[in-house]
């Protein structure tokens, strides 16, 4: 497997030992938080401002994430509504620099709502 060509990741991060459970695998909740950051960054760019996560429509962990993996989060717009934006996030891990390998570890779909300074929904710019 290869990283998506001609696309820039929304986020790249390396999980550290503090992010791992007692078996050495990265906590699912930590991965979920990173997916939320990546998707929220993409949605905020489209919304031209503040957004809040309103739904996690789907979340699939395909393979465990390991300490030292270089994770790349790629975002695609699924839908833009009046006040909401749905984003698909795919996460790839680059493993073992001595024998490089790329694997898809997670995929998720989240919906964000554009909000104003008071936290109320606002129109997404066209």
Q: What pLDDT does residue 40 have?
A: 98
Question: Cβ contacts of residue 68 below 8 Å, gap of 6+?
Answer: 14, 15
Structural domains for the chain = 11-114 (3.10.129.10)
Q: What pLDDT does residue 6 have?
A: 85
Question: Cβ contacts of residue 126 below 8 Å, gap of 6+?
Answer: none
Q: What pLDDT does residue 96 have?
A: 82
Q: Is the dihedral of CA 60, 89, 33, 80 positive or negative?
A: negative
User: Would the pLDDT of 5 be above 90?
Assistant: no
Give how far the C-alpha of residue 48 lies from the chain's centroid of Cα atoms, to the nearest Å.
18
The CA distance from 20 to 69, in Å, is 12
The CA distance from 2 to 76, in Å, is 17
Rg (CA), the chain: 15
Q: What pLDDT does residue 126 have?
A: 84
Q: What pLDDT does residue 115 have?
A: 98
User: Would the pLDDT of 97 be above 80?
Assistant: no
Q: What is the pTM of this model?
A: 0.94
Mean pLDDT confidence for 100-108? 95
């Amino acid at each position: 497997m290869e990283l998506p060509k001609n696309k820039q990741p929304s986020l790249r991060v390396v999980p550290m030992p503090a992010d791992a459970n007692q078996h050495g695998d990265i906590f699912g909740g930590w991965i979920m938080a990173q997916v939320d950051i990546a998707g929220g960054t993409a949605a905020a760019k489209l919304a031209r401002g503040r957004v809040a996560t309103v739904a996690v429509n789907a979340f699939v962990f395909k393979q465990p994430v390991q300490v030292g993996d270089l994770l790349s989060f790629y975002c695609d717009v699924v839908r833009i509504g009046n006040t909401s934006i749905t984003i698909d996030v795919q996460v790839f891990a680059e493993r073992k620099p001595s024998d490089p390998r790329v694997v898809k570890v997670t995929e998720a779909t989240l919906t964000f709502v554009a909000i104003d300074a008071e936290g109320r929904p606002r129109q997404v710019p066209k």
